[in-house]
Amino acid sequence: MIEPRDFIRAQVVEDLNSGKHKKAITRFPPEPNGYLHIGHAKSICLNFGIAVEAEGECNLRFDDTNPEKESQEYIDAIKQDVEWLGFHWAGAVRYASDYFDVLHDYAVELIKRGKAYVDSQSADEMRANRGTLSEPGKNSPFRERSIEENLDLFARMRAGEFDEGACILRAKIDMSSGNINLRDPAIYRIRKIAHHQTGDKWCIYPMYDYTHPISDALEFITHSLCTLEFEAHRPFYDWLLDALADVLPQPGSVVDVWKRAGAAAGVDDVLPHPQQIEFSRLNVNYTVTSKRKLKQLVDEQLVHGWDDPRMPTISGMRRRGYTPEALRDFCSRVGITKSDGVVDVGMLEFCVREHLENSAPRAMAVLRPLKVVLTNYPEGQVEEISASRHPNLPEMGDRKIPFTREFFIDRADFEEVPPKGYKRLIPGGEVRLRNAYIIKCDEVIKNAAGEITELRCSCDLATLGKNPEDRKVKGVIHWVSAEKGIPAEVRLYDRLFTDAAPDRGDVDFKTFINPQALEVVQAVLEPSLASAQAGERFQFEREGYFAVDSDSQPGKPVFNRTVGLRDSWKPGA
Ligand code: ATP
Ligand code: MG
């Protein structure tokens, strides 16, 4: 059941209850000119979420009208991201380019109706005559061309007779409209470039604003959901569908184009006029959500590709270890409104941490190893200690952790001159090794440079799994056997930008790139992690959540830090 928990869902509920629509049909319409980012996740969760909740359908439609910026690589990545988020599109993947023939025929129809003309002004003239927000535009001297002349010129545009920019096809609406989008918007332009789907078939391509409403109508979309910047485009969206209302395919009429669009079952039997509804974009602090800017980071090699775990792309977040559940939870907490705002990235991290807390098995890993030798523990002895994989999920079972005379602890867990309140290991002090014994530091070994290279400790052999009766030992630290542990590269990620609003515009966003966003350490892992597969996620006790990276090789694991353990954001904060 779909609940009216935001104004868009409320509209969908109303339209289903009133009988306006039999079924809600939405679409997610990415342009394949980059990888999807966290902002797209919001749109995906909204469009596909409504289809799931209302038992409707959601199409995946590539909005591919701009061939020079688009590619198959992006198409494949986008499909993978939508599926990974847990959604299924209705029927085949659709492409606006599937409709190029029909879009062309509708343009011819508009010309025949006196609603479109070929303009031969130069780009500069067109710009000058467009007017401004406060001044009306001026009619093109070519605006009153006859229908015959327009049909002829458009046919010759299509045949490749003119150079790029020599002329365009424009809708004939109103050059004095207060809405600049209604001042005879361009609907077709000449681009002599091959298209990733249609090859060399076309040298004219339809504009986005022209393509989108017709594609929606062809697919019988009921609610066309988009971000607020399209609000001012809605009058043209409606103008165009009204101008073509009687020739758009009718439900029930098995016309060729309808078959091509792949009509959804159970659609309405009234004239299709999808309703465009706008909602606010997702903005996240410390983050850039613009494909163009993310592409710059990739092209200028400031990150290692679109799926670099520092990137706010869906593929980057996946590689970093974020879960689809966490992203869906985040989008649901953000909600759908009409007011622009900035969401705290801490909320996203909170959602990731919360999902992993309840799903990721525990393990021990020492990120910055410091060697410890237990002087009173027999050489060569190996004790297999059993520990649960998850404290609250006994069904995950146990793992075996080998305990040996030599092991590593984290450098941060020992201080010669401890700060006040320090509860970990200090010279002469005691600490509990997690899942194992209490140890005491007897001697600190240093090299010639004065750096600590090793600790000599003794262990209280009566403290495995129980506390001593005569004293309280407060601190607990983690460890990994030096003999049995496995070396691994661990990539520690931090936020990609140092400024909360890197994208604010007055300064180049790249000046705010955080040089510390990636730190690589050589860590040692407990041996149970040897068989972990790319994509698997763990909580490294006392450190945070980590995921196996796709760069891992057999015997050479690479882990990414997904998120640390500490909360910086709490619900309601
Ligand atoms: P960008 O501005 O990053 O280039 P875009 O809007 O050009 O993004 P599209 O591929 O056209 O990218 O977007 C597909 C859909 O995702 C559109 O319906 C768009 O409105 C929506 N979308 C894009 N960015 C956001 C965002 N930050 N928040 C919510 N929805 C978004
Ligand atoms: Mg766009």
Q: What band does 255 get if pLDDT is binned at 50, 70 and 90? A: very low
DSSP-based three-state secondary structure for 110: helix
What ranges do the domains of the chain cover? 7-279, 291-361+488-564, 365-484
Whether the pLDDT of residue 253 is over 70: the answer is: no
Q: Write the pLDDT tens digit of every residue in 436-463.
A: 999 999 999 999 999 999 999 999 999 9
Per CATH, 7-279 and 365-484 having the same topology is answered no
**362 counts as catalytic:** no
- CATH 2.40.240.10 fits domain 365-484: yes
Mutate to test the pocket of ligand 1, among 31, 33, 38, 43 (most ligand atoms within 8 A of CB): 43
Residue 47 Cα: closest atom of ligand 1 = 18
Whether the pLDDT of residue 268 is over 70: the answer is: no
Tokens 């691994």 appear where? 488
Mean of pLDDT over the chain: 94
Tokens 């299924």 appear where? 88
Ligand 2 center to residue 65 CA distance, Å? 11
Cβ atoms of residues 169 and 154 within 8 Å: yes
Q: What band does 248 get if pLDDT is binned at 50, 70 and 90? A: confident
Q: What is the mean pLDDT of residues 493-508?
A: 92
Whether the pLDDT of residue 254 is over 80: the answer is: no
d(CA 16, CA 12): 6
What percent of the chain is modeled with pLDDT above 90?
A: 91
Give the sign of the dihedral formed by CA 180, CA 183, CA 186, CA 187.
positive
Q: What band does 258 get if pLDDT is binned at 50, 70 and 90? A: very low
Q: Write the pLDDT tens digit of every residue in 397-406.
A: 999 999 999 9
Give the DSSP H/E element, type plus range, for residue 150. Answer: helix 147-159
DSSP structural state of residue 339: S
What percent of the chain is modeled with pLDDT above 70?
A: 95
CA distances from 41 to 227, 490, 496 (A): 13, 28, 19
Q: What is the mean pLDDT of residues 33-56?
A: 98
Whether the pLDDT of residue 363 is over 80: the answer is: yes
Q: Write the pLDDT tens digit of every residue in 168-226.
A: 999 999 999 999 999 999 999 999 999 999 999 999 999 999 999 999 999 999 999 99
**9 counts as catalytic:** no
Residue 229 Cα: closest atom of ligand 1 = 20
Q: Which of 108, 167, 159 is nearest to 143 (CA)?
A: 167
What is the fold, at CATH topology level, of the domain defined by 7-279? Rossmann fold (3.40.50)
Structure tokens of 465?
Answer: 């799994």
**234 counts as catalytic:** no
pLDDT at 249: 78
- Would you state the CATH architecture of domain 291-361+488-564? Beta Barrel (2.40)
Q: What band does 504 get if pLDDT is binned at 50, 70 and 90? A: confident
pLDDT at 424: 96
Whether the pLDDT of residue 515 is over 80: the answer is: yes
Q: What is the mean pLDDT of residues 230-259?
A: 79
Q: Which residues are CB-contacts of 456 (< 8 A; sequence separation ≥ 6)?
A: 372, 373, 375, 441, 442, 443, 444, 445
For ligand 1, residues with CB inside 6 Å are 29-31, 39-40, 42-43, 226-227, 281-282, 289-292
The number of the ligand nearest the C-alpha atom of 229 reads 1
pLDDT at 556: 93
pLDDT at 256: 44
pLDDT at 426: 97
